[in-house]
Amino acid sequence: MTVLDRFLKYVQVETTSNEENPGCPSTPGQKVLGAMLAEEMREMGIADARMDEHGYVYGTIPAKGKGHAPAIGLIAHMDTSDGVQGKTTPQIVKNYDGGPITLKNGVVIDGFDFLSDLKGMDLVVTSGDSVLGADDKAGVAEIMSLCEDMTRDDAPDHGKICIAFTPDEEIGRGADLFDVANFGADFGYTVDGGALGELEYECFNATSCTVAVKGVNIHPGSAKNQMKNASLIAMEFAGMLPAWERPEHTEGYEGFYHLASMKGDEEEAILKYIIRDHDAVKAEARKQTVLRIGEYLNAKYGDGTVRVDLRDSYRNMKEIVEQHPEILEKAKAAFRACGVEPIITPIRGGTDGARLSYMGLPCPNLSTGGYNFHGRKELIPVQAMEKMVAVLKKLIAED
C-alpha cells in the first residue's frame, strides 16, 4: 500500500477531538482509527502492536544488524482539529499548474507564496467543506509506510524502532497518558510539522484560558441600574487585551492572545482563549494580564462577576532538546541525504513532543509536507509524503 493509499484511507475515519469531553480519547472515532492501525501493524509482523484502553497505539520493530543504532521513537497523533467541522472528502489535483485551485464548494486556494514551489506535483486537497486531516494523518501514513518497509525481509539494518500514535493532541492532551516508561526509545521525533524539511525544537509555552462572566438579566423595560449584561462585560474583557497581540498580527517568536470561541447572553457569557509565548517570562506575564483584567472587572461590577481559569498545556521544549544536539544533527543528516535542506524554525503551536520532552523523551518535530493546517484550504503534495517516508528510513538507519 502506498503512502497516498494509506493517507486517503485514514482520513475517511472521522477523528475530530472534542475539548468538552473529559474522557480519553475524547471522541470514539479515534479508537476506530487506533484499532485499524494496530491491526495493520500486526499484519506487518509487529507482534506487540496494541491499542490501550485510552486509545494510544504502540508497537516495536526490533533492531536488525549490528545493533549499534539507538532506539528511536516515531510519534504522530490520530485526532484532527475542529477548525472546520464536517467529514473529509479528499480530492487530488494531478500535475498542479501553479495557479488558483477551485475546490468543489467554490473555495479558492490562491495567494500563498509556497504554491509556486508545488508546480508539477500532485496535491491532495479537500472539497472545501472541512479540514483535510493531514495534521496529523499524513504523519500517521508516513510512519505506517515506514513500518511496512522495515518489516520486510530485505529491510536495511536499523536500530530498534518504537512507534506510537496518540489521541487528543489537538486539545492539548496527547501526552497525558503516554507510557514513556515502556515506550522503549532513547529519544523520539513527532512527525507533525508542515512544509517538507521543517525541523522544529522550539515551541510556545501554552496556556488555555476560560473566562466565565455571570450577569443579571432584567426586562429591558425596567433594566436601568439593575441589568448586568454578561455578554457586554465579556466584550469589555476582550477589548482590554491588546489588539496587536492577536495571531493575525504576530509571527516568528511573537506571542499572542487568541480568542478561540465565545458564547453568551445577559445571564452568562463564556470566552475561551489560548495564550502563547516562546519566552517563559513573557508567557507568565500574559497570564498575569488576564488575571488582572478579571480583578479589575470584578472591582467594577462586583465580586464573582468574572472568573478566569488558566490551565498550562505545554512548555517550550527547547530547554530539553538543546541538551541533545546529536538528535537534531541526526535529523538534519537524514533530510540532506534525501536532497532536502532542513528548515530550522520555531513552532507557532505545539506538538506532543513538547510534553514528552519534559517527561523524559527528548522529542523534536519533523515535517509531514503539508500546508494550511486546520482550515478548508489545507493541502499536501503526494511527493512530499513520499519524500518523508524516505527521510524516516534514513533517520532510523544504522550508522
Pairing outcome for strands 72-77 and 187-193: parallel
Based on the fold, state whether residues 354 and 241 are members of the same structural domain: no
Sign of the CA dihedral 189, 190, 196, 198?
negative
Which amino acid is located at 83 in the chain? G
* Grid-cell match 494509506, residue found: 6
Same domain assignment for residues 327 and 291: no
Query: What domain count does the chain have?
Result: 2
Q: Which residues of 155-230 form beta strands (DSSP E)? A: 161-166, 187-193, 198-200, 205-214
* Same domain, residue pair 198 and 345: yes
**Domain identity same for 84 and 150:** yes
What is the domain range of residue 287? Answer: 205-314
Query: If you compute the radius of gyration of the chain from its CA atoms, what whole number of angstroms results?
Result: 23
Nearest Cα neighbor of 176 from 14, 51, 22, 6 is: 22
Are residues 76 and 183 located together in one domain of the fold?
Answer: yes
Does one domain contain both 116 and 247?
A: no
Last residue within a domain, chosen from 272, 290, 314: 314
Does 384 lie in the same domain as 354?
Answer: yes
In angstroms, the CA 51 to CA 259 distance is: 35
**From CA 82, how far away is CA 131, in angstroms rounded?**
8
Q: What is the pLDDT of residue 118?
A: 98
Q: Residue 215 is part of a domain; what is its CATH number?
A: 3.30.70.360
Q: Are residues 68 and 214 in the same domain?
A: no
Active-site residue numbers? 79, 169
**291, 314, 337 - which closes a domain:** 314
Reading the chain (399 residues) residue by residue, the pLDDT tens digits are: 999 999 999 999 999 999 889 999 999 999 999 999 999 999 999 999 999 999 999 999 999 987 678 999 999 999 999 888 777 889 999 999 999 999 998 999 999 999 999 999 999 999 988 999 999 999 999 999 999 999 999 999 999 999 999 999 998 899 999 999 999 999 999 999 999 999 999 999 999 999 999 999 999 999 999 999 999 999 999 999 999 999 999 999 999 999 999 999 999 999 999 999 999 999 999 999 999 999 999 999 999 999 999 999 889 999 999 999 999 999 999 999 999 999 998 988 878 999 999 999 999 999 999 999 999 999 999 999 999 999 999 999 866
Is 61 within 8 Å of 46 (Cβ atoms)?
Answer: yes
User: How many CB atoms sit inside 10 A of residue 293's CB?
Assistant: 19
Question: What pLDDT, on a 0 to 100 scale, did the predictor assign at position 313?
Answer: 86
Residue 226 identity (one-letter amino acid): Q
Statement to judge: residues 246 and 301 lie in one domain: yes
Exposure pattern of 65-85 as b/e (b: 16+ CB <10 Å)?
Answer: eeeebbbbbbbbbbbbbbbbe
Is 257 found in the same domain as 122?
no
Cell digits of residue 303 = 465580586
Residues 158 and 15 in one domain: yes
181-190 pLDDT, tens digit each: 999 999 999 9
* CATH number of the CATH domain containing 120: 3.40.630.10
Q: For the chain, what is the mean pLDDT?
A: 95
Measured CA to CA, the distance from residue 64 to residue 41 in angstroms comes to 18
> Which domain-ending residue is among 269, 292, 314?
314
What's residue 399's pLDDT? Answer: 67
What local confidence, expressed as pLDDT, does residue 21 receive?
A: 95
Q: Identify which of 8, 82, 57, 20 has the alpha carbon closest to the alpha carbon of residue 373.
A: 82
Contact 130, 377 (CB under 8 A): no
Check whether residue 249 and residue 334 sit in a common domain. Answer: no
